[in-house]
Amino acid sequence: MINTQIKPELGKEDILKLYTKGCKKPEDFTVGIEYERLPVSSSSFKAVDYSFGISEFLRQFAKEENWDYITDDYNIIGLKQNHDTITLEPGCQIELSIKPEKTIFDIEKKIKSLNKVILPILDRLNITLLEYGVSPLTTHKNINIIPKKRYKIMAKYLWGILSDVMMRETAGIQGAFDFEDEQDAVRKFKIANKLSPFMTAMFANSPIRGGVETGYKSFRALSWLNTDNDRCGFACNLDGDFSFEDYIKAVMNSPVIFLNKDGHPVEVNGRINFAGYMNDGFEGFIPTEDDYKLQANLYFPDVRLRNFIEIRNHDCTHMPYAVLAIYKGILYGKHAMDEIEDLFKEFAGRDFAELRYNVPKNALQSRIKSYAVSDIAAEILYIAEKSLIELNTGEEKFLEPVKELTLNGLCPADIILRNWNGLWNKDIKKLIKYLKNLSRLSI
């Protein structure tokens, strides 16, 4: 039977409005961040389980700061206060999602304020929070999915040989940026996709996994290359025309994992895509706006279009604000997008796609056509810095830590590997100590 409590119809014009309502005047543009970190035991360095530390952390934080619980079947799976949230990724990765702000300074201030409360609670619970891209010691077979129905369905459905690694082991940094109109959104979306493999290379920070060297500088990026290609990768043809409707079509052509009806999941498990659901319904249900929002949220390209642009392809590092600063300089600068398009003019979509497959292993030592990625990355930084200086907000200061690495042809993984095979003598304790010391730079 059709559930008569839900909206009976959903048209493509309704879906289109979900994107066009994001259009803003440039003076109203903001920057947002989602910032995931890995909780490990301060003594054993193993991943911390939900039932043995993380749920208690959420309770203590909520009690001290008067935040509201986010629950799933009475299990606490996150906290919220106004527009800020602390949530858990499938393997207990702790994510801060901060209300978008006008400047990166405002975001930094909010995160530092939260850290002053978060970190002492974790210390009491013998938990260390790592700014790193993949679980350094515990692998997915020994990391339980948190008690959230959605994640259990996703874990069962998502295909790809490293989908479990992606869900349970990895942590990343995501940035969110605004657009003025559809034309501006499409331009920024394409630029962000072209930038994404270079940014993956610059911030590669996950070479040690399971206590051993993996042969990859970003094992996190590798895991995404091997997760459900029906919904991951580039969401547009980088060489052709693109529009909101093209993005909507891509979302609708991806298989439906589940629907959420009356607070309960209805498992679809890919038997139809959303376009088929729009045409024919499913088991008596007909599509609603909430159904489309869920489908779009379960679509995982490197760059995701919402009523803003969400960029998702960076390992967690001690440089979260540098990620935001590069994109802000380029996407919000007066001339920076022209300069980036000129920098990329001789590369075709296939070149960026090929690079996306090379950077997990080689990072800045990759090549795109005959060019060294490290040289292109240095140009990207130059363009971003010049633009930020023109914006006259002082935010170019956030580029300093990544400049120090990139201009020397290095990413965070290169420093780790040099030490791992040198002074540390492959000692996981020394890696953890190093990561803990680096994290103090962003606290």
Is 6 part of a structural domain of the chain? Answer: no
pLDDT of residue 85: 98
Residue 200 belongs to what H/E stretch?
helix 182-202
Is 2 part of a structural domain of the chain? Answer: no
Three-state secondary structure call for residue 53 = coil
How far, in Å, CA of 440 to CA of 265, rounded? Answer: 41
DSSP string, 126-166: TEEEE--SB-SS--GGG-PPPS-HHHHHHHHH--STTHHHH
pLDDT digits (tens, 9 = 90+) for 182-233: 999 999 999 999 999 999 999 999 999 999 999 999 999 999 999 999 999 9
Tokens representing 54 are 């993380």
Q: How many residues does the chain have?
A: 443
**Structural domain range at position 254:** 12-442
pLDDT of residue 440: 72
pLDDT at 5 over 90: no
Is 5 part of a structural domain of the chain? Answer: no
pLDDT at 8 over 60: no
Mean pLDDT (whole number) for 239-248: 95
Tokens representing 29 are 């543009």
Is 297 part of a structural domain of the chain? Answer: yes
pLDDT of residue 79: 98
pLDDT at 145 over 80: yes
pLDDT digits (tens, 9 = 90+) for 9-25: 688 899 999 999 999 99
Helices (H), 346-396: 349-362, 373-391
> Of 328, 292, 241, 245, nearest to 26 (Cα)?
328
pLDDT digits (tens, 9 = 90+) for 365-414: 999 999 999 999 999 999 999 999 999 999 999 999 999 999 999 999 99
pLDDT of residue 6: 43
Task: Locate the DSSP E strands across 158-282.
Answer: 172-177, 208-209, 212-213, 232-233, 258-261, 264-267
Residue 50: pLDDT band (50, 70, 90) is very high
Three-state secondary structure call for residue 266 = strand
Measured CA distances, 27 to 23, 102, 178, 309, 391 (Å)? 12, 9, 11, 17, 12
Is 130 part of a structural domain of the chain? Answer: yes
> Of 107, 80, 252, nearest to 176 (Cα)?
107
Per the listing, tokens 């995404």 go with 224
Task: Locate the DSSP E strands across 262-351.
Answer: 264-267, 300-301, 303-305, 309-315
How far, in Å, CA of 54 to CA of 125, rounded? Answer: 9
Backbone phi, then psi, for 81, in 5-degree steps?
A: -145, 115
How far, in Å, CA of 138 to CA of 218, rounded? Answer: 17
Q: Residue 417, Cβ neighbours under 10 Å: how many?
A: 16
CATH number of residue 145's parent domain = 3.30.590.20
Residue 442: pLDDT band (50, 70, 90) is low
How far, in Å, CA of 54 to CA of 52, rounded? Answer: 6
Mean pLDDT (whole number) for 98-125: 96
Find out whether 24 and 281 touch, Cβ atoms under 8 Å.
no
Is 146 part of a structural domain of the chain? Answer: yes
Backbone phi, then psi, for 87, in 5-degree steps?
A: -125, 170
Number of domains in the chain: 1
pLDDT digits (tens, 9 = 90+) for 267-313: 999 999 999 999 999 999 999 999 999 999 999 999 999 999 999 99
CB neighbours of 164 closer than 8 A, spacing ≥ 6? 140, 141, 155
Instruction: Give just the sign of the alpha carbon dihedral 393, 398, 404, 409.
Output: negative
Residue 132: pLDDT band (50, 70, 90) is very high
pLDDT of residue 443: 61
Single-letter amino acid code for the residue at 371: Y
Q: For a pLDDT cut of 90, what percent of the chain falls above it?
A: 94
pLDDT of residue 10: 87
pLDDT digits (tens, 9 = 90+) for 308-336: 999 999 999 999 999 999 999 999 998 99
Is 1 part of a structural domain of the chain? Answer: no
Mean pLDDT (whole number) for 93-101: 97
Is 158 part of a structural domain of the chain? Answer: yes
Measured CA distances, 111 to 29, 34, 66, 184, 223 (Å)? 20, 11, 17, 29, 28
Measured CA distances, 250 to 25, 234, 272 (Å)? 27, 10, 14
Mean pLDDT, the chain, as a whole number? 96
Angle between helices 182-202 and 12-20 (to 10 degrees): 70
